[in-house]
Structure 1
Amino acid sequence: MDTLQAIWLGLIQGVTEFLPISSSAHLILLPRLLGWPDQGLAFDVAVHVGTLLAVLWHFRDRLRPLFVDTLKSLVRRRPVGESPLGWAIVIATLPLVAGALILADAAETVLRGPLVIAWATIGFGLLLGWAARRGRHHRDEHSIGLGAALIIGAAQVLAIIPGTSRSGITMTAGLWLGLAPAAAARFSFLLSIPAIALAGGWKGLQLLGNHGAVDWPLFVLGTGVAGVSAYVCIRAFLALIERIGMLPFVIYRLLLGGVLLWLFWGAGA
């Protein structure tokens, strides 16, 4: 892997992690389309660390009271301040843990095929468009109860399929439950903190015992590019989503899926 590849992969991870267009699909497909060597598991961990740092920094003012109030509610056995939102994040994370344990092998093998990615990109893009047009979207993330959190968490399990988009499917579920677009996005981004941390930790465990050489300058570069681009993307998305809606992302997914089908249909991929 060279410097240009590290920059592009870091940029793609940072931009696509929080947009409803699937970061994993882009990271799997770009090297294949451009003939790049596989970037390897260690680099995937590095760029995930970059996006995790970006979302932690963006929500830094909310995370401390969210964490403290959730712990207080556990001790006092009643809601405290931000604790309902904190428990919603915890409940929504549980299905992902169970799903990852069950589907981890399939996610790394049969589900990584280009045609699977293409159909998932199209199908879940249409589902996002349907949810965005359905009913009224007036609730904020503080209205999410444990039942709604469980629904969003169950939807998040589908993101194990490359092309689904973790942010896309959680926003879809949030919109279906009546959340405003910005509220669905904020909850999706907060939910990404444990999701990215768990994914990065799992991949990190897979690296234990791997004593191959690590090109630290390229890893630091990829992490930095992913972090900066992710932070800019989060801010821009939250500022614009109420005005532009989900339609541009639905169109992008349909076009991307169509291109992938054209490239790989009948190619034995």
Structure 2
Amino acid sequence: MNPILEVQSLSFRYAKAGPMILDSINMKIEKGSITAIAGLSGCGKTTLAFCLCGAIPKSLPGIMEGDILLEGRSIRELSLPALSKKIGIVFQDVDNQLFLPTVEAEIAFAAENLCLSYEEIEEMIERVLKTLGIEHLRSQNPSLLSGGEKHLAAMASILSLDPEVIILDEALSQLDSDNRGLIIDRIKLLQREGKTIIVIDHDLENLMMADTILLMKDGRIEQRIKAGENRELLYSKLTDFFLYQNK
């Protein structure tokens, strides 16, 4: 199976004399998979997320070497609007991502900027609300929603363009168990619909939903773990990885 994303010898630093944040990363993301990228704070996983969605090097300055292929094509060749139709990202602090008065307006925003017709936008809003099961939030103000509902609203806003890849950058880290379960259920539903999910996290429970877990340290991929292993053994491996780094 051809990967939907392929990272080739990717290195990145924010300044010429600055430290290497990403160091010769090679990885493949299979279409329709859930891939977790995990590591302690400062390991480079958020910078990697910015590279995967194209924010680096198109919006954030720095020195990037190597390449990222999206369906076989370098993301350097794609504009940010073109990339946003292929890859969407939900950040940890969704309050910085939600700025309109209703969930419906958040969903419609990107489509309106693409000058889609009223009928197309209405059809898209209905589709996204139904996919995430949040029809009841349509007219709600995102700032007044619960943590889990805010994350669903943020997911809805990026699903408006129907991207094939969805990146969640520690989007579950500040949620209680009920809201976390709600988001994980929706993530698995999106996977069943053919979406490719990349979860950036360091919480062991959040990592358990993944098909593949990539463990990062000092800007490198240190280990690749397939989720087909016994859950208890998988949990033990992840615990050992994080405990070893804290010594």
Task: State the TM-score, normalized to the length of structure 2.
Answer: 0.29
Structure with the higher fraction of residues in helix conformation = 1
Q: Which has the higher contact order (CA 8 A, sep 6+)?
A: 1
Task: State the TM-score, normalized to the length of structure 1.
Answer: 0.28
